[in-house]
Amino acid sequence: MGETVSVINTVDTSHEDMIHDAQMDYYGTRLATCSSDRSVKIFDVRNGGQILVADLRGHEGPVWQVAWAHPMYGNILASCSYDRKVIIWKEENGTWEKTHEHTGHDSSVNSVCWAPHDYGLILACGSSDGAISLLTYTGLGQWEVKKINNAHTIGCNAVSWAPAVIPGSLIDQPSGQKPNYIKKFASGGCDNLIKLWKEEEDGQWKEEQKLEAHSDWVRDVAWAPSIGLPTSTIASCSQDGRVFVWTCDDASGNTWSPKLLHKFNDVVWHVSWSITANILAVSGGDNKVTLWKESVDGQWVCISDVNKGQGPVSTSVTEGQQNDQ
């Protein structure tokens, strides 16, 4: 009963140029992709199939990222592009259409990330103009914009929201009354820094923390989902080849300590946590995606390499699991 990592489906996106991002929706039933060919495509991938649901045109440059909103808001997808725009697409009556366009940036928008659904429908966007903008849906097709200028000098490369944590007691709030969430997100930029942002009571966003450890541009940050423990965890990766895992013991306040996961030989572009935050996937310049897990003694162990190449489709090599001791 060996556990193998196998390709279970291959979707031919027919993108005419480089694919920059691919994202599964909440349930794993749909796939959104975006490309240098300026299009955003959506596929239905249930049961190993692949049906093109939409081919969305609207960007005037390579599209860097896509992000699915929580299904309770409907089928909504955000995309950001070199053309300095962020477009929000929505499915209405079975067809996908552009529902909003945000043009508030002076430079390429590199990253988009939806906030936890508990906060409402809020999108954070990071741009090469150094600013981060936050779009909040206020109803009736209206989006309110808040902008953090000069968040990172030279440019912002990544944004990632903290999971929603209800502060104080967990008594069920009466209906209609929203609990007072403390909204936070992390950003990574060309100033080699990771910054943590917090929304103040007056609705303004303030820089709460700077995390310094990288010696080159921070390419991606990923705030781990909450698994019910009092610690917060953020992963970051950089042009300097390093991946750090930052933890903060919430009881003590705001001290974040970095732990070096690994130093790669090349730029590390992308980090991402699995749904239950127990595996961190890292995409590196060494052309591999590696999966990492934390072992008993707090060390990070590589459990799998997903390597691209000309090899056969499913080489069933029994996966070496991490030790549980």
Partner 1 sequence: MEEFDGEPTVTWIPGVNSQKKQMCFDWGPGEMLVCETSFNKKEKSEMVAGCPFIHIIRKDIDVYSKILRKLFNESHGIFVGLQRIEEELTGKSRKAQLVRVSKNYRSVIRACMEEMHQFAVADKDSAIGRQFSSQVSILSAMELIWNLCEILFIEVAPAGPLLLYLLDWVRLHVCEVDSLSADVLGSENPSKHESFWNLPGNTQTLTELELRWQHWHEECERHLQDGTFASNPHLESLCKVLLGDDAALLEHKELLSNWYHFLVTRLLYSQPTVKPMDLHLYAQSSLDLFLGGESSPEPLDNILMAAFEFDIHQVIKECSIALSNWWFVAHLTDLLDHCKLLQSHNLYFGSNMREFLLLEYASGLFAHHSLWQLGVDYCDHCPELGRVSLELHIERIPLTTEQKALKVLRVCEQRQMTEQVRSICKVLAMKAVRNNRLGSALSWSIRAKDAAFATLVSDRFLRDYCERGCFSDLDLIDNLGPAMMLSDRLTFLGKYREFHRLYGEKCFVDAASLLLSLMTSQIAPRSFWMTLLTDALPLLEQKQVIFSAEQTYELLRCLEDLTSGRPLCGEPDAQQLQDDDIETTKVEILRLALARNLARSVIKEGSLEGS
Q: How many CB atoms lie within 10 A of CB 35?
A: 22
Q: x/- binding map, residues 76-105, to partner 1, per CB under 8 A?
A: ------x--------xxx------------
Backbone angles phi, psi at 119, to 5 degrees: -85, -10
Considering beta carbons, is residue 254 or 321 the nearer one to partner 1? Answer: 321
Q: Is 225 helix (H, G, I), strand (E, B) or coil?
A: coil
Considering beta carbons, is residue 208 or 267 the nearer one to partner 1? Answer: 267
Distances in whole angstroms, Cα of residue 71 to Cα of each of 29, 260, 272, 274, 284: 12, 35, 21, 19, 31
CB of 187 to partner 1, least distance (A): 17
Q: Where are the alpha helices (DSSP H) in 70-204?
A: none
CB of 263 to partner 1, least distance (A): 9
- Relative to beta strand 242-249, strand 279-284 is unpaired
CB of 207 to partner 1, least distance (A): 25
Considering beta carbons, is residue 99 or 295 the nearer one to partner 1? Answer: 295
Q: Is 119 helix (H, G, I), strand (E, B) or coil?
A: helix
Q: Which of 37, 129, 199, 240 binds partner 1 (CB under 8 A)?
A: 37
Q: Which of 97, 101, 144, 319 binds partner 1 (CB under 8 A)?
A: 319
Q: Which of 4, 103, 150, 215 binds partner 1 (CB under 8 A)?
A: 4
Radius of gyration of the chain (CA): 20
Distances in whole angstroms, Cα of residue 65 to Cα of each of 39, 265, 290, 294: 11, 25, 21, 28
Which positions from 246 through 265 interact with partner 1, judged by CB under 8 A? 260-262
Considering beta carbons, is residue 194 or 280 the nearer one to partner 1? Answer: 280
CB of 106 to partner 1, least distance (A): 15
Is residue 217 at the binding interface for partner 1, with CB under 8 A as the rule? no
Helix (H) or strand (E) holding 180: none
